[in-house]
């Protein structure tokens, strides 16, 4: 990566998010059908937090686009059964509502494929409802399959880097659903970015930019389950609905990849029998959005159990426990997440100086090398900024850090030392 791509990026990501008015007036998403440098994607889409669509040429060499799809462009059930016959997969019922989501069950893939075939033969209907295979960790369960390659634009992925290090989870998913299956209104986990590639089939996306979701809340502050429901017209239930902008409607064709930015609430429909691959991901461009999300989550928990504050010695710790149960992470794990990201980049920059790359994994080495030392330096500056925010946060100060393998203050100093030492070796951009 060239130095200019990251020149003054630290100040850019600290600025208020760009107004969406000019973008919204055009009411379309830019379509990328030619070579695009990572630097341009970084400046034009990641930093300003704008969606875009990549053409099918970016997926045409993927094995799954050839092996999982028939000549007619339909799901290749025979091939899927050959590869994943007995594999347990999570399946949601789109006709049932559980809170603001669909209830799930786990079944062998062959059972879901059997259902799907019958569903098609019966005119895309079934007494079992409309079932949708969602959030299947296919890459984690079958690491040697290599049926697709993450495009370089989405490779600065702290979220999966962290979970790969722990070897317990990931945020890489396969979705398979018949025509008519859909996902209710939501924003992605931790307010992460997401990218979604249609292996076959077509989707319709309804997207709202950050902040518009507040106009869609009911009188209790809850977001709608279905943003197209007629009940949103009831001003007694949804008093601010008329103030919301119209959603950005996008049709995604087979082979295309959509980039969904941080905090953009969306609702998605499968217009045909569809298979897609989806990743959630975070990096230095949206880590501040994740940090704000975590603060909001904790604040909500604290308000819910405020009445017990003075009766529990460990009230603040209980808030962290509840927060993790609801959102999947607490402040301590967030600090550990930042630590791993920082240590990997410090090792990479030190290796750039010494020529020794033995301190970190081959896969991560390839990713960091492809993005270059300027990107690693940018990442470190973003981590340092968030750690500084943590150290000033009263709720974080209350946590017990005595058992941590590395104190936040120590980590922050190590980051500063690395930035300073590599600056002299011309690895960093000028400020």
pLDDT per position as a tens digit, 288-309: 999 999 999 999 999 999 999 9
Among residues 237, 257, 281, which one ends one of the domains?
A: 281
Among residues 257, 281, 305, which one ends one of the domains?
A: 281
Residue 99 lies in a domain: yes
pLDDT bracket for residue 19 (50, 70, 90): very low
Residue 218 lies in a domain: no
User: Quick check: 409 and 417 in contact, CB under 8 A?
Assistant: no
Q: Where residue 98 sits, what CATH number does that domain have?
A: 2.60.120.650
Say if residue 135's pLDDT is above 60. yes
Residue 16 lies in a domain: no
Say if residue 16's pLDDT is above 50. no
- Residue 357 has which token pair? 């790359």
Looking at the fold, whether 147 and 271 belong to one and the same domain comes out as yes
% of the chain surpassing 70 pLDDT = 89
Lowest mean pLDDT among 18-27, 75-84, 145-154, 334-343: 18-27
Looking at the fold, whether 255 and 290 belong to one and the same domain comes out as no
pTM for this predicted structure: 0.91
Q: Is 390 exposed, middle or buried (0-12, 13-18, 19+ CB in 10 A)?
A: buried
Looking at the fold, whether 308 and 272 belong to one and the same domain comes out as no
Give the per-residue pLDDT at 403: 72
- Mean pLDDT, the chain, whole residue set: 90
Looking at the fold, whether 252 and 342 belong to one and the same domain comes out as no
Looking at the fold, whether 394 and 265 belong to one and the same domain comes out as no
- Residue 184 has which token pair? 């209710």
Residue 7 lies in a domain: no
Q: Which domain holds residue 302?
A: 286-425
Looking at the fold, whether 131 and 173 belong to one and the same domain comes out as yes
Looking at the fold, whether 46 and 72 belong to one and the same domain comes out as yes
Residue 217 lies in a domain: no
Residue 229 lies in a domain: no
Give the per-residue pLDDT at 353: 77
Lowest mean pLDDT among 133-137, 328-332, 421-425: 421-425
Looking at the fold, whether 201 and 262 belong to one and the same domain comes out as yes
Looking at the fold, whether 388 and 323 belong to one and the same domain comes out as yes
Residue 397 lies in a domain: yes
Residue-wise DSSP of 185-196: EE--GGG-EEEE
Looking at the fold, whether 326 and 416 belong to one and the same domain comes out as yes
Among residues 260, 281, 302, which one ends one of the domains?
A: 281
Looking at the fold, whether 268 and 313 belong to one and the same domain comes out as no
Give the per-residue pLDDT at 356: 65
Looking at the fold, whether 310 and 406 belong to one and the same domain comes out as yes
Lowest mean pLDDT among 63-77, 216-230, 333-347, 410-424: 410-424
CA distances from residue 13 to 163, 287, 329, 380, 382 in whole angstroms, order as listed: 25, 10, 23, 14, 9
**Alpha-carbon dihedral sign for residues 56, 59, 60, 65:** negative
Number of domains in the chain: 2
261 Cβ contact partners less than 8 Å away, ≥ 6 residues apart:
45, 49, 50, 51, 193, 286
Lowest mean pLDDT among 24-28, 43-47, 69-73: 24-28
pLDDT bracket for residue 402 (50, 70, 90): confident
Average pLDDT on 88-105 reads 94
Give the per-residue pLDDT at 5: 52
137 Cβ contact partners less than 8 Å away, ≥ 6 residues apart:
169, 170, 172, 173
Q: Are strands 257-260 and 203-208 parallel, antiparallel or unpaired?
A: unpaired
Residue 238 lies in a domain: no
Lowest mean pLDDT among 204-213, 250-259, 353-362: 353-362
């Amino acid at each position: 990566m060239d130095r200019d791509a990251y020149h003054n990026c630290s100040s850019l990501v600290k600025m208020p998010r760009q107004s969406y008015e000019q973008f919204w007036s055009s009411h379309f998403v830019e379509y990328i059908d030619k070579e695009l440098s990572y630097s341009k994607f970084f400046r034009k889409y990641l930093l300003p937090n704008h969606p875009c669509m990549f053409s099918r040429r970016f997926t045409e060499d993927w094995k799954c686009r050839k092996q999982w799809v028939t000549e007619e462009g339909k799901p290749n059930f025979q091939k899927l059964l050959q590869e994943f016959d007995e594999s347990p997969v999570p399946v949601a019922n789109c006709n049932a509502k559980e809170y603001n989501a669909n209830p799930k069950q786990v079944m062998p893939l062959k059972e879901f494929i059997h259902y799907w075939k019958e569903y098609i033969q019966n005119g895309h209907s079934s007494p079992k409802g409309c079932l949708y295979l969602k959030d299947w960790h296919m890459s984690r369960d079958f690491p040697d399959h290599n049926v697709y390659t993450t495009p370089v634009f989405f490779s600065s992925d702290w979220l999966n880097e962290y979970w790969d290090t722990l070897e317990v989870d990931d945020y890489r998913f396969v979705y398979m659903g018949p025509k008519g299956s859909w996902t209710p209104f939501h924003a992605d986990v931790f307010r992460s970015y997401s990218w979604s590639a249609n292996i076959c089939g077509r989707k319709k996306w309804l997207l709202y930019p950050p902040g518009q979701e507040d106009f869609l809340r009911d009188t209790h502050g809850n977001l709608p389950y279905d943003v197209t429901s007629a009940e949103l017209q009831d001003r007694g239930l949804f008093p601010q609905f008329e103030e919301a902008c119209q959603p950005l409607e996008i049709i995604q064709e087979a082979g295309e990849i959509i980039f969904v930015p941080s905090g953009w609430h969306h609702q998605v429909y499968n217009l045909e029998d569809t298979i897609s691959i989806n990743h959630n991901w975070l990096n230095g461009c949206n880590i501040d959005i994740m940090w704000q999300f975590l603060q909001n989550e904790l604040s909500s928990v604290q308000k819910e159990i405020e009445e017990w504050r003075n009766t529990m010695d460990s009230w603040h710790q209980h808030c962290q426990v509840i927060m993790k149960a609801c959102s999947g992470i607490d402040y301590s794990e967030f600090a550990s997440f930042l630590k791993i990201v920082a240590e990997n980049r410090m090792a990479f920059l030190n290796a750039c100086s010494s020529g020794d790359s033995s301190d970190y994994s081959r896969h991560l080495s390839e990713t960091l090398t492809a993005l270059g030392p300027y990107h690693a330096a940018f990442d470190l500056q973003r981590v340092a900024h968030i750690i500084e925010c943590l150290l000033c946060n009263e709720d974080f100060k209350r946590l017990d850090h005595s058992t941590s393998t590395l104190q936040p203050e120590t980590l922050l100093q190590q980051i500063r030392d690395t930035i300073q030492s590599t600056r002299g070796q011309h690895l960093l951009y000028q400020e």
